[in-house]
Structure 1
């Protein structure tokens, strides 16, 4: 009897159920559903209808490759991208300079997410934006405490629960007011309509491929699949990781597409939809208050989940590059204070979201280029090094994203 139990335990250790291996990509995928994404996709649909459907699809395909490379790095090496870069950048001034830009990206990310949560609380309960920002920051601190005290798995459960709320909140409108099928399919043909559509396309991609998601995913995979004798084989984990990333990007891509299609079918020609508040009012008027409330709840869940993941990424950036960890409260305040300050001085929330996406554009090359470079090195990944085609695809995605984000910066400057 005891030998049978032993064999069963041994088999379980060798081949755990696939569902147990899912989770890190779903947490990282929340970064693709933050308030910045909501604002970009909503504006694109309201102003250009179905024109930029293809941009969301292309961005999601590139996101799959980038997030898989990040997760693979964490699974194979047991280290995060910031940790590896912290070892490879030998010059102390260079390492601090790299940390400074990555920290700025983390703060800009948190700015968008905290403001999104504050706007949602204002829409739902009429709370002042400053109070909403503080509440969003406080709740995210509780979520981070779950991660630090109870481990990666419990944190994943909470974030995946919020992801389900986001999906329902942003997807309900498309069910009630389905988009035109022919127009949706026509939107898959790559094209633009003037400078404004190029700007929005770059904004969508800038809001989709976020540097902090790249840093975070490698750390999430590392935390979940520690290099121990009891873990499954690396090949098994990488196979499961591909499924994990596929599911996460399918969810994130579907929700982003639903937001754009909802705006394209309900909001064209409606004034004031260039802000989250205006979009909420237009949805309430066009579809009904229930769908508008679900939209606001989805926005709140988006802010809470994404700011928690953003703060986790910020902590990992500091620990990996500077070899220092600071208390959770201090880490949270580093990102929270700038967001609250911007709200207090009266900056328009939607303008602040757009500005945050511009700042994120600066950080894209610093995360993408090292990721593709490191995963293409046999000295780092050994037998699991990128295939040549994978590296070429990674380089192509990097060049395209950097070029589009450069266009975003130039067009934003010209329009200022």
Structure 2
């Protein structure tokens, strides 16, 4: 991405209007948006949605409808920044704002992501033990090694295909949903006409849902992946250099992002419904990890449902851990002006790949320490919430700067939804801090 020039001349004849007409290639529509949305349902997120269903039944399922347009708007904006500029989010922030702002945000992101990686790897290992009976430590080392090695040694296009196939792991939760007896009328009432008893616990859970669905690492990852798509193809330029491609590319980004976020929220809803109909219905109200949820399902939904749920944890973890490590490496590398990109040879991007390996290794080692991964995950959620608000605010400002986005500045409904999402997250974080005090 360092090869992208700071300024690109725009032919005056275009006058900001795409002139060349290229048809949308439906075979390449799904990509960064789908992978980003699927990685949002990581084992830590699954634990949050499982706890939501177990503790509150169907009462908070409406949050999945509320967060959908906000997620779409924020992720579309981050993707546009990457595709228009050919740089990731951190690369743009460090160019137009004081270095201490970018460095502070990236440092907090790196800490939160590493903790999240540790919790996800621990949940994956426990799920592996649940299915096979083998020691969880064996699975922990295997999963950590596979995630780090695949990201380092596979070229970008091949690795992107692997990540796309891993999104199929989300189907396990749809399958599980239809393996249990759902009272659909009650579920529909909770979704459309919810009865919510407002309490500090309810407020904290809503904040946790927002923090899980709208996370900073997703912004950095999708923007960097769009920039990677530019870097990886010699015939493709950033849209600010080739505005004629704008109409097709922005349409692709919109469709890709909406598919990814819809898949993410439908799966989250399926998990809430499954746990509400089984665990909450049998007064099991407390779930610590996603593996706990899989184990708790067994008496009420059967062995097969428990196994399918556990296999889904492993599959989504194999997708999410590389995204968490990769987004941290992209952000740190762009802020420090390192060579970055999954298509680079390891010798040509040692610091970038070193960050991926180190974050994964530290996350794995956390599971061999007295640190409680659940308590650490709460800390990570707090850090994510605190980081998300300034990152979203800066991202919104970047997206409206003509010097950055050229003729592709964000406006209209997308701009308003982006700022609404930022305001909602700010209120959520404020509510979280208030309830903790």
Residues 6-405 of structure 1: pairs in structure 2 closer than 5 A: 14-15=22-23, 17-91=25-99, 93-145=100-152, 149-151=154-156, 153-165=157-169, 167-187=170-190, 188-189=192-193, 192-193=196-197, 194-226=199-231, 229=235, 233-268=245-280, 269-271=282-284, 273-276=286-289, 277-325=291-339, 326-327=350-351, 330-405=354-429
Q: 1:284 to 1:100 in 2, by over 3 A?
A: same
Q: Deviations over 1:284-323 (max 9, x none)?
A: 1111111111111100111111011111111111111111
Please tell me whether the aligned partners of residues 36 and 357 of structure 1 are also in contact (alpha carbons under 8 angstroms). Answer: no
**SS in structure 2 at match of 1:68:** helix
More displaced 10-residue stretch of structure 1: 243-252 or 18-27: 18-27
Q: Deviations over 1:169-201 (max 9, x none)?
A: 222221122422222222233663222111111
Q: 1:184 to 1:356 in 2, by over 3 A?
A: same
Give unpaired runs (5+ residues) of structure 1: 1-12
Q: 1:130 to 1:370 in 2, by over 3 A?
A: farther
**Shift of the alpha carbon at 1:75?**
1.4
CA distance in 2 between partners of 1:86 and 1:154 (Å) = 30
Please tell me whether the aligned partners of residues 205 and 401 of structure 1 are also in contact (alpha carbons under 8 angstroms). Answer: yes
Q: 1:181 to 1:94 in 2, by over 3 A?
A: closer
Q: Deviations over 1:72-109 (max 9, x none)?
A: 11111111111111212344x44433332232233233
CA distance in 2 between partners of 1:329 and 1:150 (Å) = 12
Please tell me whether the aligned partners of residues 212 and 313 of structure 1 are also in contact (alpha carbons under 8 angstroms). Answer: yes
**Shift of the alpha carbon at 1:145?**
2.8
Please tell me whether the aligned partners of residues 74 and 220 of structure 1 are also in contact (alpha carbons under 8 angstroms). Answer: yes
Please tell me whether the aligned partners of residues 121 and 317 of structure 2 are also in contact (alpha carbons under 8 angstroms). Answer: yes
Query: When you count helix as a share of all residues, which structure comes out higher?
Result: 1
Please tell me whether the aligned partners of residues 210 and 364 of structure 1 are also in contact (alpha carbons under 8 angstroms). Answer: yes
Q: 1:381 to 1:228 in 2, by over 3 A?
A: farther
CA distance in 2 between partners of 1:89 and 1:38 (Å) = 36
Give unpaired runs (5+ residues) of structure 2: 1-20, 238-243, 340-349
Q: Deviations over 1:42-76 (max 9, x none)?
A: 00101111000111221222111111111111111
CA distance in 1 between partners of 2:194 and 2:362 (Å) = 38
More displaced 10-residue stretch of structure 1: 55-64 or 249-258: 55-64
Q: 1:272 to 1:90 in 2, by over 3 A?
A: closer
Q: 1:351 to 1:191 in 2, by over 3 A?
A: farther
**Shift of the alpha carbon at 1:240?**
1.1
CA distance in 2 between partners of 1:403 and 1:237 (Å) = 33
**Shift of the alpha carbon at 1:124?**
2.3
**Shift of the alpha carbon at 1:336?**
2.9
Q: 1:131 to 1:79 in 2, by over 3 A?
A: same
Between Structure 1 and Structure 2, how many residues are aligned?
397
Please tell me whether the aligned partners of residues 109 and 360 of structure 1 are also in contact (alpha carbons under 8 angstroms). Answer: no
Superposition TM-score, scaled by structure 2 size: 0.84
CA distance in 2 between partners of 1:403 and 1:290 (Å) = 41
**Shift of the alpha carbon at 1:128?**
4.0
Please tell me whether the aligned partners of residues 74 and 418 of structure 2 are also in contact (alpha carbons under 8 angstroms). Answer: yes
